[in-house]
Structure 1
Amino acid sequence: MQFTVHPTAIVDEGAQIGEGTRVWHWVHICGGARIGKGCSFGQNVFVGNDVAIGDNVKIQNNVSVYDAVTLEDDVFCGPSMVFTNVYNPRSAVNRKNEYRRTVVRKGATLGANSTIVCGTTIGEHAFVAAGAVVNRDVKPYALMAGVPARQIGWMSEAGERLDLPLTGSARCNCPISGHSYSLANGIVTRETK
C-alpha cells in the first residue's frame, strides 16, 4: 500500500487513492472516489462516490465531500466547512437526480465553517473566509467573506492579501513571494516572466 490508512478508517473497495496520501481517524472514503497523491484527510472526513480530488489536497476534521464535488490540486478545506449537493432538499422528496456540481479550482482555500452552496465554481487560488456562505461563483484570487459571501479583496497564491482595488486596473506584488499580479476587467492574474 502506497498510502496510509488509520485502523479506524473505512476505505471501500474500488476507491482510487494516490501515493503518499494519509487517511486519519474515523474517515470514510466510498468506493467510487478518485483521490490524488499527497492528500491528507483529517478526523471524521467523509468522501462520497462521485467525487474527484486532485493532488496535495488538505481536508481538515469534520468535512463531508458529497457526490458531485470536484477538488482540483492544492485545495485546502478548513475544519467543519460544508459542501452541499442539492439546492432545495426535502426529506420526503428524492432529489438524487438533481445534484448540482461544485468545482473548487486549483489552490483555493475554504475557511473553517464556511459553506459552499452546490452548483458553484470557486476560482483558482480564491480564498473563502471562515464562516462565509458562498452561493455564487467566485473569481480566481478573490477574497470572499460574510453571509452571503461578498468579495472584499484579492489574495495571492501565497495566501497574502494583495493591495489591489476590487475594480479598475492596477498591479502589485505579493508581500511574501514577490510575484507580480495585475487586475484588468475585474480579473486578477499572476504575471509570468
Structure 2
Amino acid sequence: MSYYMHPTAQIGEHSKVGYHAAISERVKIGDHCQIGHNVVIHPGVQIGDHVRIDDNTVVGKLPMKAARSATTREGSLPPAIIGDYVLIGASTVIYTGCRIDRYVLVADLASVREETVIGEYTIVGRGVTVENRCHIGKRCKLETEVYITALSVIEDDVFIAPAVVTTNDNYLGRTQERFKRFKGVTIKQGARIGANAIILPGKVIAEDAVVAAGAVVTKDVPARTIVAGIPARYFRRVPDEELLENQENIWLNCEKI
C-alpha cells in the first residue's frame, strides 16, 4: 500500500487513493472516489460517492486560535462532510465542521473555514477564501480570489466576480466594543457583485441587486437596483431581462451525465 489508512477508516468500491495520502481514523470514503497524491484527510471526515480530491489537499483541518483571534471559537467541532459528486482542487484546505453539499466545485488553492456550509451546485473559484461561520447557498459562483469574511450569509443564485472583498469589523481591530458588533455581509438571492467591489460590515445586498465593479458599498442596497462608485450610489434599475425570475433554467442535471 502506497498510502496510510487507519484501521478504522473505510473506503468504498472502485475508489482510488494516490501516493503518500494519509487517511485518519473513522474516515469514510464512498464509492468511485479519486483521492490524489499527498492528500490528508483528518479524523471522522465523511466523503460521499463520486468525489474527486486533487493532490496536496487537506480535508477536516482543525482551526488554530491565536491569543488575539477575534472570531475563531474554541471547543470541539463535528467532522467535515463532503457530499456526492464534489470536486476539490489541488492544495485546497477544507476545515473541520464544514458541510459541502453535492456537485460543489472548490477549485485549487481555495480555503473553506470551519462551521461553514456550501450549498449544492455552487462554484468556489481558484484562491477563494470563505472564512468561518458562513453560509453559502445553492448555485452560487464565487470567482477567483473572492474573500468572504466570517459570519456572512450568501443566499442562492448569487454571482460574485473576481477579487471582491467583504468585511466584518467597523472598528478595524480597535476597542473592546468591536467584539459585540462583528457582523458579516448578507447577499440575498440573485444578487450580483462586480469585480474588485468592497462591501463594508453588516451591509445587505438585496434580491437581484447589482454592485458595479470597483464600488465601495457603505449602505444597504435595495432589491433590483444597480449601484456604482465610491461610495456606491444609485445608478439605475436592473433591466427586467436580467432578473433572476426571467432566466431560463441553465443548470444541468449532473446525475444524467
The question of whether the paired residues in 1 share the 8 Å contact of 2:149 and 2:184 is answered with no
With a CA cutoff of 8 Å and minimum separation of 6, indicate the structure with the bigger relative contact order.
Answer: 1
Task: Work out whether 1:78 is the aligned partner of 2:161.
Answer: yes
Q: Aligned equivalents of 1:145 and 1:122: distance in 2?
A: 13
Task: Work out whether 1:26 is the aligned partner of 2:109.
Answer: yes
- Greater strand fraction, Structure 1 or Structure 2: 1
Q: Aligned equivalents of 1:157 and 1:111: distance in 2?
A: 19
Unaligned runs of 5+ in 2: 1-47, 49-83, 248-257
Q: Answer with 146-155 or 97-106: which moved more.
A: 97-106
Matched with 2:68 is none
Matched with 2:151 is 68
1:119 is aligned, of 202, 214, 219, to 202
Measure how far apart 1:157 and its partner are.
Answer: 6.2
The question of whether the paired residues in 2 share the 8 Å contact of 1:125 and 1:156 is answered with no
Question: Helix, strand or coil for the counterpart of 1:144?
Answer: strand
The question of whether the paired residues in 2 share the 8 Å contact of 1:50 and 1:66 is answered with no
The question of whether the paired residues in 2 share the 8 Å contact of 1:32 and 1:48 is answered with no
Question: Helix, strand or coil for the counterpart of 2:242?
Answer: coil
Measure how far apart 1:103 and its partner are.
Answer: 0.8
Unaligned runs of 5+ in 1: 161-173, 178-193
Q: Aligned equivalents of 2:138 and 2:218: distance in 1?
A: 26
Deviating 4+ runs (over 4 angstroms): none
- TM-score (structure 1 length as normaliser): 0.78
CA RMSD of superposed structures (Å) = 1.9
Residue-by-residue CA offset, 1:129-183 (whole Å, 9 max, x unaligned):
00011110111000000000001101146537xxxxxxxxxxxxx9x86xxxxxx
Matched with 1:52 is 135
Task: Work out whether 1:107 is the aligned partner of 2:190.
Answer: yes
The question of whether the paired residues in 1 share the 8 Å contact of 2:157 and 2:190 is answered with yes
Instruction: Kindly report which structure 2 residues correspond to 1:111-190, keeping only aligned pairs within 5 A, or say none.
Output: 111-156=194-239, 158-159=241-242
Residue-by-residue CA offset, 1:51-104 (whole Å, 9 max, x unaligned):
0010001001111111121000001111001100001203x6563442124211
Matched with 1:40 is 123
Q: Aligned equivalents of 2:226 and 2:198: distance in 1?
A: 15
- TM-score (structure 2 length as normaliser): 0.59
2:170 is aligned, of 64, 84, 87, to 87
Measure how far apart 1:119 and its partner are.
Answer: 1.3
The question of whether the paired residues in 1 share the 8 Å contact of 2:166 and 2:184 is answered with no
Measure how far apart 1:13 and its partner are.
Answer: 2.0
Residue-by-residue CA offset, 1:5-50 (whole Å, 9 max, x unaligned):
0131111122101110000010011121011000001111111121
